[in-house]
Structure 1
Amino acid sequence: MIVLLLGAAFGAGLWCWWTGTRPATPALTAALTPRQPPAPVAKPAADNRAGWSARAGRVVVPWLARSGLPGATTAAALRTMRVPVERHLAEKAAAALAGLVFPWLLAVLGSLVGIRVGWVLPSGAAVLLAAVLFFIPDHAVRQDSQRHRVEIRHALSAFLDLTVVGLSGGSGIEQSLRSAAGAGQGPAFAAFRRALREAELTGTAPWGPLARLGEQLGVTELPELAATVALAGNEGARIRASLASKAATLRGHLLSEAEAAASSATERMSIPVVGLFAAFLIFLGYPAVSLAIAGM
Structure 2
Amino acid sequence: MIRLAIVFGALLGAGMMLVVSGVRRSPPRLDAALTRLAGTDTDAAAAPAPGAVQPWLRRQAQRLTGPGGLPIPRQDLALLGRSPERFIAEKIGAGLFGLCLPLLLSMLATLQGLSMPWTVPVAATLGFAAAGFFVPDATVRSTAAQRRADFRHALSAYFDFVRLAFAGGAGPSQALEQAPRYSDGWAFRRIAEAVEAAQHARLTPWQGLARLGAEIGVDELGDLADLADLAGNEGAKIVDAITAHTQQIRSRQLTEMRYDAESRTTSMTVPIATIGLAFITLLGFPQIYLLLTS
TM-score of the aligned structures, taking structure 1 as reference length: 0.71
- Could you list the runs of 5+ residues in structure 2 that have no partner in the other structure? 1-49
For 1:145, the equivalent position in structure 2 comes to: 144
Are the aligned partners of 2:176 and 2:206 in contact in 1 as well (CA < 8 Å)? no
Offset at residue 210 of structure 1 (A): 0.8
For 2:100, the equivalent position in structure 1 comes to: 101
| C-alpha distance 173-67 of structure 1, shift in aligned 2 (>3 A) | closer
Are the aligned partners of 2:65 and 2:71 in contact in 1 as well (CA < 8 Å)? no
The whole-number CA distance in structure 2 between the counterparts of 1:277 and 1:212 is: 53
Offset at residue 70 of structure 1 (A): 3.2
Offset at residue 137 of structure 1 (A): 0.3
Deviations 1:150-195 (A, max 9, x none): 1111111010101112222222222121111111122211111112
| Match status 1:211 vs 2:210 | yes
For 1:185, the equivalent position in structure 2 comes to: 184
For 1:71, the equivalent position in structure 2 comes to: 71
Deviations 1:119-177 (A, max 9, x none): 55655543332222121100001111111211111111010101112222222222121
- Which structure has the larger Rg over C-alpha atoms? 1
| C-alpha distance 270-197 of structure 1, shift in aligned 2 (>3 A) | same
Identity of matched residues, %: 35
Runs of 4+ in 1 over 6 A off after TM superposition: 57-60
Deviations 1:30-50 (A, max 9, x none): xxxxxxxxxxxxxx62339xx
For 1:34, the equivalent position in structure 2 comes to: none
The whole-number CA distance in structure 2 between the counterparts of 1:45 and 1:218 is: 27
The whole-number CA distance in structure 1 between the counterparts of 2:150 and 2:264 is: 19
Are the aligned partners of 1:107 and 1:116 in contact in 2 as well (CA < 8 Å)? no
Deviations 1:220-276 (A, max 9, x none): 111111111111135545211111111111111111111111111222223221121
| Match status 1:266 vs 2:265 | yes
The whole-number CA distance in structure 1 between the counterparts of 2:288 and 2:67 is: 56
Alignment-mate amino acid for residue 277 of structure 1: G
| C-alpha distance 61-235 of structure 1, shift in aligned 2 (>3 A) | closer
Deviations 1:100-134 (A, max 9, x none): 2123335556777xx55445565554333222212
Q: Alignment length, in residue pairs? A: 242
Larger RCO: Structure 1 or Structure 2 (Cα < 8 Å, ≥ 6 residues apart)?
2
The whole-number CA distance in structure 1 between the counterparts of 2:52 and 2:178 is: 37
| C-alpha distance 96-75 of structure 1, shift in aligned 2 (>3 A) | same
Give the 5 Å matches for 1:1-296: 45-47=51-53, 64-65=64-65, 68-71=68-71, 74-106=73-105, 108=107, 115-120=112-117, 122-236=121-235, 238-295=237-294
Are the aligned partners of 2:172 and 2:232 in contact in 1 as well (CA < 8 Å)? no
Offset at residue 290 of structure 1 (A): 3.8
The whole-number CA distance in structure 2 between the counterparts of 1:139 and 1:208 is: 31
The whole-number CA distance in structure 2 between the counterparts of 1:109 and 1:158 is: 58
The whole-number CA distance in structure 1 between the counterparts of 2:102 and 2:177 is: 56
| C-alpha distance 60-199 of structure 1, shift in aligned 2 (>3 A) | closer
For 1:3, the equivalent position in structure 2 comes to: none
**Which of 282-291 and 162-171 deviates more?**
282-291
| C-alpha distance 70-143 of structure 1, shift in aligned 2 (>3 A) | farther
TM-score of the aligned structures, taking structure 2 as reference length: 0.71
| C-alpha distance 220-117 of structure 1, shift in aligned 2 (>3 A) | farther
| C-alpha distance 63-291 of structure 1, shift in aligned 2 (>3 A) | farther
Are the aligned partners of 2:227 and 2:238 in contact in 1 as well (CA < 8 Å)? yes
Are the aligned partners of 1:60 and 1:93 in contact in 2 as well (CA < 8 Å)? no
Offset at residue 287 of structure 1 (A): 3.6
- Could you list the runs of 5+ residues in structure 1 that have no partner in the other structure? 1-43, 49-54
The whole-number CA distance in structure 1 between the counterparts of 2:93 and 2:104 is: 16
